[in-house]
Amino acid sequence: MRQQCPQCGSYELAKVGQNDKFLKWGGGGALVLFALGFVAPGFWIIIPLWMFGSLAVYMSHPLLECKECGRQWDPRKRPVETKS
């Protein structure tokens, strides 16, 4: 099953990670947990689990990027019909 660029129709695609989401959820979540740890130290135990979980999601949900026009999209949200 080959993916095709919805914008220009190119098959030259590359998988790219969702860096912004990873930084927002992984980094932001860890900061919140770190701050909460001053109130209840139990939250510090969750930080490595949170980071690992964020990394797992990051690794398993890459976006597709077109090498021709640079468009990025999520192949799971909008499946692209390929003409055979």
Nearest to 2 by CA among 55, 11, 74: 11
Q: Is residue 65 a contact partner of residue 72, using CB atoms and an 8 Å limit?
A: yes
Task: Kindly write out the interface string for residues 1-30 of this chain, putting x where it contacts Zn ion by CB under 5 A and - elsewhere.
Answer: ----x-xx-x--------------------
Backbone angles phi, psi at 13, to 5 degrees: -120, 155
Residue 13 vs 33, nearer CB to Zn ion = 13
Structure tokens at 27: 């980094």
Between 16 and 69, name the residue whose CB sits nearer to Zn ion: 69
Q: Scanning residues 56 to 75, which ones bind Zn ion (CB under 5 A)?
A: 66, 68-69, 71
Q: Given the rule CB under 5 A, which residues bind Zn ion?
A: 5, 7-8, 10, 66, 68-69, 71
